[in-house]
Amino acid sequence: MDKNTAIVADIQRASLHDGPGIRTTVFFKGCPLSCAWCHNPECIEKAPQTLFYPEKCIGCGLCEKGCYAGARVICGKEMTAEEIFDEILLDKASYAGGGGVTFSGGEPLLYPEILKELIALCKKEGIHTAIETSLFIYNPEILGSVDLVMADFKLWDREKHHKYIGVYNDKIKPHFIMLDLLSVPFIVRTPIIPGINDNPEEISKIRDFIKDFKNILGYELLPYHPLGESKREALGLSLNEFKIPNRAKMEELKKYADL
């Protein structure tokens, strides 16, 4: 793989959850973090991987020719910016109501050359661009050229951050300050994981840190959802036992997230 290609896990059309309006979301493969609750565990490794769903296997023995039953799925396709953009363009009509394209993953900032090209192509076509990032990587050229940044601030506590996410958050905190200097609108999001960060102290500390930023549009709390667990199983990874936070807990925490 060279810097002119990226490994793409999936291109999801008509998404309503990855930014404003109807969006096409490009999921890039590869992430320097390893959140225990990751909803896209197939996007952590950069290299293509095989997911196996035994309940779909009909035992035909034709695996080498490709699985038509959907039991063995290869995740990860090497694509150029032009190839990705061709896919984005197919949905252009659906962006009319304020939608656009979202670069997600994994960590899209692992592919700066591809993003640079894609953003330029989107701008030419008048397509709104957004990026979802953990801000572990800071790239002012890319972050400063999209229309919207959605950045996750997952945990304030440094040791817990290391324990559950695989890295300390020492770099991430200053990256938020640097992001605010770029004059690009951004949204901060925290996934709420019961037993890990579902407490007022955690949320208040993040809120206090971000509340005076000039370009922040909002602070959102996202309830954990076990979407990634079936994919973890299909990848042969151990399963987690995180619970979905209840509505009362989310309502309580929202009070501490008010900017």
Binding site for ligand SF4 (CB under 6 A): 31, 33-35, 38, 40, 43-44, 57-63, 67, 69, 71-72, 105-107, 134
Interior CA angle at 137 toward 133 and 138, to 5°? 95
Scanning 44-151, the segments in alpha helix (DSSP H) are 81-89, 112-124, 140-143
Dihedral sign for Cα 191, 145, 88, 114, please.
negative
Integer Cα distance of 128 and 147 in angstroms: 6
Interior CA angle at 156 toward 20 and 31, to 5°? 60
Indicate the DSSP class of residue 44.
Answer: T
Which secondary-structure segment (H or E) carries 84? helix 81-89
Nearer to ligand SF4, 119 or 150 (CB): 150
Nearer to ligand SF4, 44 or 142 (CB): 44
Q: How far is the CB of 186 from ligand SF4 (least distance, A)?
A: 16
Nearer to ligand SF4, 104 or 129 (CB): 104
Q: How far is the CB of 101 from ligand SF4 (least distance, A)?
A: 18
Q: How far is the CB of 92 from ligand SF4 (least distance, A)?
A: 27
Interior CA angle at 223 toward 219 and 225, to 5°? 140
Nearer to ligand SF4, 121 or 155 (CB): 155
Q: How far is the CB of 39 from ligand SF4 (least distance, A)?
A: 6
Scanning 126-246, the segments in alpha helix (DSSP H) are 140-143, 158-165, 172-180, 200-210, 228-234
Q: How far is the CB of 44 from ligand SF4 (least distance, A)?
A: 5
Q: How far is the CB of 225 from ligand SF4 (least distance, A)?
A: 12
Pair of tokens at residue 195: 């037993």
Nearer to ligand SF4, 127 or 234 (CB): 234
Nearer to ligand SF4, 89 or 138 (CB): 138
